[in-house]
Every structure is written in structure tokens, then in C-alpha cells.
Structure 1
Amino acid sequence: MPLKLKPPRQGKTPNYAIRGTYLGIYVDRTAGTPDKATAQQLLNGIKRAIERGEYEKPAAVEPPREPTFTDAALAYLKAGGAPNYIERIIKDTSAHSLRDKTIATIDQITIDNAARAVYPDAPATTLNRQFYTPVSAILKHAGIERKIKRPKGWRGSKATSWLDPEPAFAVIREAYAIEPEFGLLCLTLLYTGMRLSDPLRARVRDLRLGMSLLYVPDTKNGEPRPVHLPPHLVEAFKAQPPRLARPRKADSVVLADGQAGRSRASAGLPWLQRPADEKLFRFCKGGRLYDMLDLAMTRAGVSFPRRQGAFHLFCHTYGTWMTHFGELDTYGLTRTGRWKDPDSADRYRHTIASPEARRADLLPAPPRRIRA
């Protein structure tokens, strides 16, 4: 077939193509233009180059490779995405692994199978937090807006445990008896609903008692939170005594295990006059701190299963009290800044009977002889 122009193909390409054989040299390439005159000039130039022996076929262009899940994950991390749990997903090499699958082929069934391959025995709440959430974030960053269904039960149980005022105050009293600073920490959690990590990361400079405020610059939600301090909590901060100096071991004296404690910075200084960049509370999140809470609850006669009775019990108590005594609805709880997702705050709606349910008080009363 002689060398000639091929017209554009509707729905395929808007440009002319140059195809055929000239002086034994086969040519098959695009003219790169929809203009016929320009395409003809390019064809004539190819003929002259063949006649001079100077024609070289254009290098073959490899089609772009479809990005894989690993490519998308790396791009997500480079853009500042949260790295939590991604490494374990990428390292999975099972038959259902996502790592080498192109993002366009990852559908709901693929995700479900991969989740169970990475976390075969995990509950739905863990699967959601450690697999579905990061995978969804990576795919959305890559431009895949497919809605991903979360595993059944991923929100966890709506059942909520909380403390009534009398047992709550008993726990606080026992916490102060164990150590005044531990008592103040528990009181702060009770009246602010903060996660344990928030006050433990706070610095002295973040405390603004004149504004009744503790500013938390980095929360789990990823957003700063100005935490309101009620008047009695402000007074508790002002009344906090200085830290005691660390007990020292004297000659021939054996201290009980743990009595010496850890080195206490700023011992003897007024508690609010410590250096601005010092930690607000001296504690670290760990077993020792949880043991202190267990001791306070035991002494107060309060008992909950371990999962329900840890420091998060103060958060549930705060949410319940703000619903019972503060008369906040789900929207109001979200506006406090403690909960970002209304679905999370909605659990406290279940701690009170609805106005509709309370209308049962209007039902006809039974005759006295029935109650006798």
C-alpha cells in the first residue's frame, strides 16, 4: 500500500494518520494534527527523509502503567496523609493482597477479602479503624470516589456506661488521696470529656485560667480544641499544691517498691508557676496510670468491666451529664468540640428516655384493686 493519509476516525482520534510503504520503508504513525494540509506537509517530509536515507521510526511509546494500590498509598503519604496502619496493609502478600492491584479494579468484594486477610480475627470496630478507614482515604486521594461499605457492627455497641454524681465524686476523692496531681487529672477528665492523651500532652502554657480554658492544639480528630473549664475545675487548678520532692533512700533504709516514684520536675514550685513548656501533668499513659485508676475505683466501691471502667468512663460520664443536666441534644454535644461526628455523640441520646417515651405517664392508670 502506497504511503498516504488516513482521515480521522470519529470517536477514536481527531488527527490524520500516515500509513503505507515508500521505497520499501513501512510507515504507520499519527500526523498529530486534524488539519489535512499540515498532515500532507508532514507526509511529504517523511518521503524526502526516506529518499535521503535519514528516516527513523519514532521510538515506541509505552502506554502509561495503571497505578497500583501501593502507588496510591505512597502518593497519599507524600501528600501528608496519616500513616497509621498503612504499612501492615502494604506488606500483606496473601492471595487477597491489595498492594499490586490497580486502583481501578479494587471493589467492595476485593476490599472485604483483603481486610480479613490482614486481620482475620479482628472485630468489626478494629477492621474499620485499621483497614477500611485508611484504604478509603488512599482511594479518595487517588480520585476514586467509590462508596465503601463498612463491616457490620463497625460503630460498636451503643450501650454506654457512666457514673452518677455520688460514685463519680467518690472516685475523685480516692484519686486525690492516692496523689493530688492524679486527682486533678481525673477531675479534669470528668468535667471536660477529654481523651486521656489530650491533657497528658498539654503544656503549662496551654492553660488559660483567666479565660476558663485549656487549649488543646492537636486532638485525635486532627483539629485544635479550646476546652472549657467549669468554675469548680478552675478553682481546683488554682488550689493544686506543689509537687512533693522525690523521696530519697537513706543509709540502712529500704524503700517500698515504687515509693521513690519517678523524678518530679519543679518539685516545691507553686503548681501554676512552673515553666511554660513543661508538661501540665507529669504522668505518661501506661499500666502504672491505669493501676492507679483501678485502685481509686476499688476504694470508692465502683466496679465496671475493664473495657468500660478505664479513663474513657470519664468521657462517657461527661457526655451523659451534659445530656442530663446540661440538656444538650446530639447537635449540642457536637458543638462542644469533643465529638466531631454526630453519630458518635448520638450514643448519649440513649441515656435518657425520649420526650415521646415519657408520654407514657399520660396513659390511663389501673384501678387500685389491680395494684393491691
Structure 2
Amino acid sequence: MTGAPLLDTTSVPSPPYLDAPHVRYFWEKGMGKDLTTWTGASLSEKDFPRFYPLYHSFDGLSDTAVLDTYLSLPYPEASVLIQRFLKGEKPLENTKVPQSLPLLVASMHRPEWFDSTLASHGASLCMRAGTNALMILRDFTLMGGYDFAYLNKPLIYTGALKKGAVKRLKDTLEFWVAVTRENALEPGSEAMQLILRTRMMHSYARLKIKEHAKDWDFVRWGEPINTWDMVATYTGFSLIFMLGLKKMGMHITAKEEKGLFHLWKYVGYLLGIPHEVLPSSAKQATEWFYLWTLMQAPGDAHSKELAQALLEENLQSTIYPFLWQRKAMRTLHQSMSSYLLDPPTLQRLGIATEGSHHLFPKFVTKINYGLKRFYPVGEPKRYEAMKKKGHQQQLKVLSDYIKHTPKDFRY
């Protein structure tokens, strides 16, 4: 369910960055060209009027629930109320559950179009990708997303930049791991509870931005954490994620590709995005992603700050006890980004592009090509073994981040 647009969107403007140099490079020479070559997408602006209103729409159902809880009660009391409700426990004495909360939960019912078997194929890809998946998510999907200036504005206005990349990475990793395990999205599961908390966190951040950010530019940036930006974000977890894996030499089966789009279509739906605007295939995702990029300015000074904070995260984290280890990890992540991202993006984000930095990603790519040759995914026993190993690798990294990350803070 989306809230009413703040602005009158009956008159759809022309795409503001249709012929901008950064957009043209992206789609004619850069990552966008890789996407169209892979997917066979046909780029056109004809559907822009259909998607533009999403830039000024939002999750009104969740916003109401947040207004009735976090913004009506003391923050700790609201947190306890929601936790007890999700566990099926009675609220504390003198506390009532607002009607908006069960309505929000009811909106997250399992739709008829959801195919759990298909979604499990997508989850299997995420698990068997192991540490490849985590590097792509961090150094390609997340880092590359910082080059879209307007998408980053909520991070700036909520102070997430100052609160540090370590916490942001832990939250993203925890969410991704939770929702990409096989059969994780059962009613009442921990993953479903995390999705609901994430949905309400988005609303909390949006309402706080609208309350305090008097200079928020609704014309250029849309609603804070708007529906179209949400679609683009979860396209990053499917389309861009798979492109990154392909760049690193991993083979993706047709079932895995279709399943991953189905999985993220369902996760996006649970987060309050209308399922009709969530892509079901690589071709559709590319064509719709193209329309969104026409709304985005290139990376700016804040983009560079976010990128540098992500690079410096390894130096701040205490996962590795010695400084030389943390510096080595920083270099490896920088090498991955410089290998995977377009040159103009690297320049705007301030990421070094020395040729020697490509040694590590090229080494990983050769390993993946070798595994693809000697351990074909078509053999069930080997496939299950790779999936189990990758799952364990990801849980180990997540465990380290949880152990070495400060406790949750308010947004």
C-alpha cells in the first residue's frame, strides 16, 4: 500500500537526465551496456509516465503504524510493544496495541502468485555464492549505488554517514542473509519479523526526515525512501547482484535467475512495494531500471563521503585484531570495486584504479571459472555441497559483524 503523492503528479515531466553525459556513458559504454547485452533489453522512455508517480509515493500503511507506536510512545516502550506483538505475547499493562499494527501485519499475507519452490532456487544461488556474494553486495552493489546522488539523500539526512559504515554493513548483511535462506519466509519466522522491523524503520526515517528536513527537495529527490527508489534498491539485490557474479566468473542457472527475481519480488512486496512494479525477469528489470536512472544525478560530494566511509570500514572494525590485517582487507575491497565499477563512477567516488589492484579480483575470477569447469552445478551432490559451504561462509562473516558491531541506535 502506498501513500498519496505529496505533489500533483498528473502532469509528468520529461525525464530530467535523459541525455545527461553520466546516463549516456552508463548505458552506452558502462555497466548498463553490460546489462543490455546480457538481458537483451530494449531501452525506451515510453513507460516513464507509468513509473514517475512512484517517485512521490510511499508506504502509507507502515507510516500510520509508526505514528501510532514509535512516534506516540517513548521509543523503548514502543519497541517492547512491537516485539511482544510479533511474538504473539500480550502487551504490557496500560499499553494498547493500535489497530494500525495488526493491519500492517495482515497486509504481509502470502499472495497467490508466490511460488516457494521457485523462490528456493533464488535462495540457493545466494547461498552457494558464498563469499563471492558478500564481495559483490559490498563492493559492487552497495558501492555502485552511492553514485546515484539522490538515492543517498535519506542516508545523509538521517545522519547514517556519521553513525558509521560498520553498523550499516551489519544491518544490510543481517537482512540479506535472513531473507535469502531456503524456506526462510514462513509466517511468523525470524526473517518475516526482521522484514516488518525494516519496513517500519524505513517509515520512521521517512517521517523524521519530513519533520526535520525543511530543505528536502521533493521535486528532485521525490519522497524520502520513496517507492521507486525502493524498487531500484531491490533490483540491486537481484539484477545487479547477478551481473556482479557473472563478472566474477560464476555460472547462474536459468532456474536460479528466475528464482532470484521471484524471491526479491516477494521480499519487496512484504516491504510494502506493489508487486506489479517489481520485475520478474532480467530483461524487464533492466528496462525498468533504465527509467529510474533517468531521475538520478551523478555522484556528488556526499556520494564520495559515503564511498570513502565504506572503504575505511575495515580500519574501524575490530574483526581483525592487527592493523596490517585491516589495511589488507581495505586494499582487497578497493581492488574489487575498481575492477567491477565503471571508470567515471570510480572517479566520482574517489576510488583508486591502479592496475595492480586488479590482481585479487582476477585471481578470484579464475578460481570461479575453474570451479565452474570441475564442479558443474548440474550435479546434485556437488551443488548441495557448494550451497552448504557457501551458507557456512556467510554465517561466519555475519557472526563476526554482529560480535564486533555496537548495539542498535535510533534512526
Shorter-chain TM-score category? under 0.3
- Structure (1 or 2) with the larger CA radius of gyration: 1
Q: Tell me which protein shows more helix as a share of its residues.
A: 2
RCO higher in 1 or 2 (8 Å CA, sep ≥ 6)?
Answer: 2
More strand by percentage: 1
TM-score by length of 2: 0.19
